[in-house]
Amino acid sequence: MATCRLTQKEEIQISAIRWQGDGYCFWDYQGVMLIDFMAKGTTINSEAYIETLRKLKTRLKRYRPNVNVATVLLQHDNARPHTSLRTREEITRHGWTTLPHPPYSPDLAPSDFHLFGPMKEGLRGQRFSTDEEVKTAVRSWLRSQPSSFYEARIHALIKQRTAAVDNGGDYIEK
């Protein structure tokens, strides 16, 4: 999630975040590329995550045609489905690089701190009767944000990530 100027030869960083055990959201400085909600009761394991990564690769080719898909920098946390051997092999097969996630830096969970907070504020006060209504509202809110919204969050994430690296991976106070 670092590069703001992007050409075919530059790298694109993408963030992957779990949706409270129900799916993933992948986004970059231009916006959301993939929201992959899982069916209720689905276990998010390596196989499910690998399938989601394959969907992401397809989306990248479609929605970021000027980006070399092999230059993706993927940032996700250290959850077992993200770090399993099979997942790492799949990421390598795509030619992607995974950015290391400092173990004591929950502030680097990109969507938790940079996406979900503003979304919760934007959806505050709304009532939903079904899971589908929630999913529709989430998709709609994410799509309604301008690219400047996502770009600003990427810049904030880069700043936090740099501070964590400079601090030896220790937790960064806000």
Q: What is the CA radius of gyration of the chain?
A: 16
CA distance 146 to 142: 9
Class of domain 12-166: alpha beta
Q: How many CB atoms lie within 10 A of CB 105?
A: 19
Confidence of residue 150 (pLDDT cuts 50, 70, 90): very high
Q: Which of 70-74, 139-143, 166-170 has the lowest mean pLDDT?
A: 166-170
d(CA 8, CA 116): 30
Are the CB atoms for 68 and 32 separated by under 8 Å? Answer: no
Residue 116: the pLDDT is 81
pTM for the whole structure: 0.77
pLDDT 10s digits, 32-89:
999 888 887 777 899 999 999 999 999 999 988 888 877 888 888 888 899 999 999 9
CA-based nearest residue to 12, from 85, 104, 95, 81: 95
